[in-house]
């Protein structure tokens, strides 16, 4: 069975900073991706409610990396297991998971894709329409082509290639609207 994917909030970096926030549902797993900075916290809980869930019904939260603009609101989901690049955290339990790839559910998994930071992961959601990826390897469809915060552009390009090799049809960038992979300006 494929997962369902919903874009909850579209991120931006002009006139403020907000993270793109997404929701993936796979069986009994309700997964929020990158609950970071938003204009008001109520926007986030409201978007989750509009998708049919209370914040307490969210089972998992996963962050693409550790910058606070993508992690600020993890605590809003009081019962969720929180996942980052190296571990899963729930109440006072810290469980390390594999670094290169880990699965959140049968149709949702994460791959290590360093480039923006050393701790970046990209989250893949297998839907009926095809593969969706949430990744900070792209800020938005319009760029920047070269991430000004990247520690190593060669590493970042290798991670972009790793993601694109899996042929996702939709990319949810860190701070912009989801876009079709074919719209990516690779020039
Ligand atoms: Zn960042
Ligand atoms: Zn960011």
Q: Which of 42, 90, 31 is nearest to 64 (CA)?
A: 31
Contact 112, 99 (CB under 8 A): yes
What domain range includes position 105? 4-183
The pTM score is: 0.97
Q: Is 3 helix (H, G, I), strand (E, B) or coil?
A: strand
Confidence band, pLDDT 50/70/90 cuts, at residue 186: low
What is the 65 CA–ligand 1 centroid distance (Å)?
7
Average pLDDT over residues 126-135: 98
Domain count, the chain: 1
What is the 91 CA–ligand 1 centroid distance (Å)?
25
Confidence band, pLDDT 50/70/90 cuts, at residue 103: very high
CATH label of the domain that carries residue 166 = 3.60.15.10
What is the 69 CA–ligand 2 centroid distance (Å)?
6
Cα 72 from chain centroid? Answer: 14
């Amino acid at each position: 069975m494929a997962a369902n994917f919903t874009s909850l909030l579209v991120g931006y970096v002009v006139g403020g900073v907000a993270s793109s926030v997404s929701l993936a549902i796979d069986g009994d797993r309700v997964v929020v991706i990158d609950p970071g900075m938003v204009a008001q916290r109520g926007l986030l809980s409201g978007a989750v409610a509009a998708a049919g869930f209370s914040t307490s019904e969210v089972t998992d939260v996963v962050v693409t990396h550790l910058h606070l603009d993508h992690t600020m609101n993890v605590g809003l989901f009081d019962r969720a297991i929180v996942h980052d690049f190296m571990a899963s955290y729930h109440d006072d339990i810290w469980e390390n998971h594999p670094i290169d790839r880990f699965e959140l559910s049968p149709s949702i998994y994460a791959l290590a894709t360093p480039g923006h930071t050393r701790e970046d992961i990209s989250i893949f959601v297998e839907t009926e329409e095809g593969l969706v990826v949430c990744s900070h390897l792209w800020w938005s469809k319009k760029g920047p082509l070269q991430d000004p915060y990247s520690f190593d552009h060669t590493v970042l390009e290798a991670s972009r290639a790793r993601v694109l090799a899996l042929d996702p049809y939709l990319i949810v960038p860190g701070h912009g609207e989801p876009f079709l992979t074919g719209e990516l300006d690779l020039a």
